[in-house]
Structures are given as C-alpha cells and as structure tokens.
Chain A
Amino acid sequence: QLQLQESGPGLVKPSETLSLTCTVSGGSISSASYYWAWIRQPPGRGLEWIASIYYSGYIHHNPSLKSRVTISVDTSKNQFSLKLSSVTAADTAVYYCARQYNNYVTSWGQGTLVTVSS
C-alpha cells in the first residue's frame, strides 16, 4: 500500500527557506504513470497546488510561486523535495505531498504544519 510521509522543520523564520522532503514507500517514484506533487493548505483555508515533478525531472509549477519554488526528485532514495525561499507568514500552512495519476491526486501524505515566525 502506497504511503507518503512529509518531513522537515515545523518552524521557519521569515525570509528564510522552507525545506521539506517526501518519502514514498509501497511504490516506486520512478513509475512512468505518476507525477509527484506538493500542495498546501493554510490553517482553516482551502487547498493550493504548488508544483509537480515527474521522476525524470520534468516539472510543472504554479506561476504564483514559481520564482520561490524548487522541486526535485531523488529516485535512489524514493524521495522528492520542496524548497520555498523568502518565506513570510503567508506561507504558514499544512504542506502535503501527494501522488498524481492522470493529473488528479490519488494519494496524499498526512501533511506537516510549517509555521513561519521569528
């Protein structure tokens, strides 16, 4: 059974870089059928797609965040990662990693709350 697990600091200072890793188990990140995504949800609010990556490194970005986002994949570790630079309080959210099939999200991690505060 596929499992996705986010990891990374729960507290980041303003202007610094948020870094998260998603570890995939129960399936290969190198499968040709899937994209791997980051999606966030500010407390009490809706869902925002950040970016998606294919195992080969092909990337789709949300233009609203593209200038600050770096997404990468490490097939040897079955992981993919997110870096979001120059964070502000508006970046405080639960960050989910997820698997996409035919572009829709089929599986989600449990999510990790990242708070931006000094």
Chain B
Amino acid sequence: DIVMTQSPDSLAVSLGERATINCKSSQSVLYSSNNKNYLGWYQQKPGQPPKLLIYWASTRESGVPDRFSGSGSGTDFTLTISSLQAEDVAVYYCHQYYNTPYTFGQGTKLEIK
C-alpha cells in the first residue's frame, strides 16, 4: 500500500496569511506514460463529506477559488492557500489514486490564529 503522510497534523494561520500543507507518499505517484501525478486534495468541513479541491496534483476543480493551489511531483506535494479566509477552516486530506488500495493522508486540521 502507498502510505500518505501529511504535515503538520494541525495548523493555525491568521486571516489573510498563507497556509501550507505538505503531503509525502511512500512511493512515487507519477505515472511516466502520461507524466501525471495521481494526487488529489480534499477539504472536509464538520458534518460534511469531503470536497475535491485539486486533482493531478495541481489542477483546480471547477468552482474552487484560485487562492487554493497544488504543487509537487513524485513523492512530495503541497497544498497552498494564498490568503486564508474564515470559510477555509476545515480538515484537508491528500489522496493517491495511482494504484489500489487508494489511500488518504491522515488529515491536517486548519484553524484561524
């Protein structure tokens, strides 16, 4: 199984400041034949299902604000929120869909400082 490890486990950031969440996979999720990283990011608010933010490591889902961006390749990835808004308080998960069993990171809880 590919193990996904996020850091930090929790994060407190002031409104308007940058938030950065890291995700490391235990093996590469870059598929060489199409040069795509099989890595997604999800946002989950209390009592709600996760919401897709980013796929292919850096492609923003339709309707997701452009303050959310994803980067990285191979085994190391980052989700960045450029200017934190109050509505961004949530738990964020990375997810590898390179192979089965599909796996998720343990989650990073983002709060307002």
| Bound form: Cα–Cα A110–B95 in Å | 19
**A14 contacts across to B, CB distance below 8 A:** none
**A63 contacts across to B, CB distance below 8 A:** 101
| Bound form: Cα–Cα A109–B103 in Å | 19
A13: Cβ under 8 A from any B Cβ: no
Category for how many chain B residues contact A: 20 to 34
| Bound form: Cα–Cα A60–B102 in Å | 10
Tell me how far the C-beta of B88 lies from the nearest C-beta in chain A, rounded to whole angstroms.
19
A49-B101 in contact (CB<8A): yes
B67-111: which residues lie under 8 A (CB-CB) from chain A?
Answer: 93, 95, 97-98, 100-107
B93-A47 in contact (CB<8A): yes
Nearest CB to that of A4 among chain B residues?
Answer: B49
**A62 contacts across to B, CB distance below 8 A:** 100-101
A67: Cβ under 8 A from any B Cβ: no
**A46 contacts across to B, CB distance below 8 A:** 93, 104-107
A87: Cβ under 8 A from any B Cβ: no
Tell me how far the C-beta of B40 lies from the nearest C-beta in chain A, rounded to whole angstroms.
5
B102-A49 in contact (CB<8A): yes
A104-B49 in contact (CB<8A): no
| Bound form: Cα–Cα A46–B38 in Å | 19
| Bound form: Cα–Cα A104–B54 in Å | 10
Tell me how far the C-beta of A53 lies from the nearest C-beta in chain B, rounded to whole angstroms.
12
| Bound form: Cα–Cα A105–B50 in Å | 9
- The 10 nearest A-B residue pairs measured at CB: A108-B49, A103-B97, A62-B101, A49-B102, A47-B104, A104-B40, A104-B97, A60-B100, A104-B55, A46-B106
Chain A interface (Cβ < 8 Å from any Cβ of B): 46-49, 52, 60-64, 96, 100, 102-106, 108-111
Additional A-B contacts beyond A47-B50, A105-B40, A105-B50 (17; CB < 8 A): A46-B93, A46-B104, A46-B105, A46-B106, A47-B95, A49-B100, A49-B102, A52-B100, A61-B100, A62-B100, A103-B102, A104-B40, A104-B52, A108-B49, A108-B50, A108-B51, A111-B49
